[in-house]
Amino acid sequence: MGDRSLHNEFIDQYKPFIAKHVSSVCKRYVDRTIDDEYSVGLIAFDEAIQQYAPDKGSSFLSFASLVIRRRVIDYIRQESKRQVATSLDHNEDLHENLENYAEVSASLDVFQEEIEISYRKEELLHFQERLKEFGITFSHLQKECPKHRDARENMAKVARVIIENEEVKAQLLEKKRLPIKPLLNDVDVSRKTLERNRKYLIALAIILLEDYVYIRDYVREWLK
């Protein structure tokens, strides 16, 4: 009972944080007493508490922010579909219903695309913040990304070794730099290659550690 009380106190303490991020997704002021989106945010924050894993390296609030935004976006998407279905069900005229469906469906497609863009944006912003902790920017990655597919696949293999080797992963997350020496024992890659691809390898390791749906999809071909 005591633990549950502390749990609830922790959530109460961060209600302004939750409201801020829900409002950011909705792009309007969210009333905590009447808006369903805020309730979704509360549930998402509780979900973040249950799922947070410190060994991934991300701060809890950073992780919670991502979960809240995703769940609210999912809720908005589901509500838009439900409202379309309800609107069509209430219209008994078949011809008019079909016209409404075509019109609403087109609008919904546009809305869904906007939601997807928003989702990708949230992931990229989160990824950008994580990279910043290691002194890495997107421009660094653009310069260091291997040009050849086989080279990218080799770096992906090294990145997997980084997150599977607890010592290497711990040093990476604690010191915010790639521990080359212990890594050399587990990979068939030269020190020079590791040094040259250091920032790119850190970025891949972060992608593998974090729950990035769209970013992982983008690089999935060589993360398999």
Residue whose C-alpha is closest to residue 184's, from 156, 150, 152, 158: 158
Q: In the chain, what are the domain boundaries?
A: 2-133, 138-223
What is the average pLDDT across 118-142? 86
CB-based contact 115:77 (threshold 8 Å):
yes
Instruction: Find the range with the poorest average confidence among 88-97, 115-124, 167-176.
Output: 88-97
Q: Give the global pTM.
A: 0.64
Of the listed ranges 121-135, 170-184, 207-221, the least confidently predicted one is 207-221
Percent helix, strand and coil across the chain, each rounded to 5? 80, 0, 20
CA distance 219 to 159: 13
Q: Is the pLDDT of residue 180 over 90?
A: yes
Q: Confidence class of residue 107 from pLDDT cuts 50, 70 and 90?
A: low
> What pLDDT, on the 0 to 100 scale, is given for residue 18?
93
pLDDT at 95 over 80: no
Q: What local confidence, expressed as pLDDT, does residue 109 receive?
A: 60
Query: Could you give the CA distance from residue 146 to residue 63 in angstroms, rounded to a whole number?
Result: 29
The sign of the CA dihedral 100, 103, 109, 110 is negative
Mean pLDDT of the residues in the chain: 82
pLDDT, residue 115, reads: 66
Binning pLDDT at 50, 70 and 90, where does residue 103 land? Answer: low
Q: Is the pLDDT reported for residue 91 higher than 60?
A: no
Please tell me the predicted confidence (pLDDT) of residue 84.
57
CA–CA gap between residue 208 and residue 5 (Å, rounded): 34
Length of the chain as a residue count: 224
In this predicted structure, the answer to whether residue 194 has a pLDDT above a threshold of 80 is yes
| pLDDT tens for each residue of 12-51 | 999 999 999 898 888 888 888 888 999 999 999 999 999 9
Residue with tokens 């080359």: 180
**pLDDT for residue 94 is more than 50:** no
Q: Is the pLDDT of residue 174 over 80?
A: yes
Are 17 and 38 in contact by the 8 Å Cβ rule? The answer is no
Burial class (CB in 10 A: 0-12, 13-18, 19+), 29: exposed
The stretch 66-70 carries a mean pLDDT of 87
- What tokens appear for 218 in the block? 């983008």
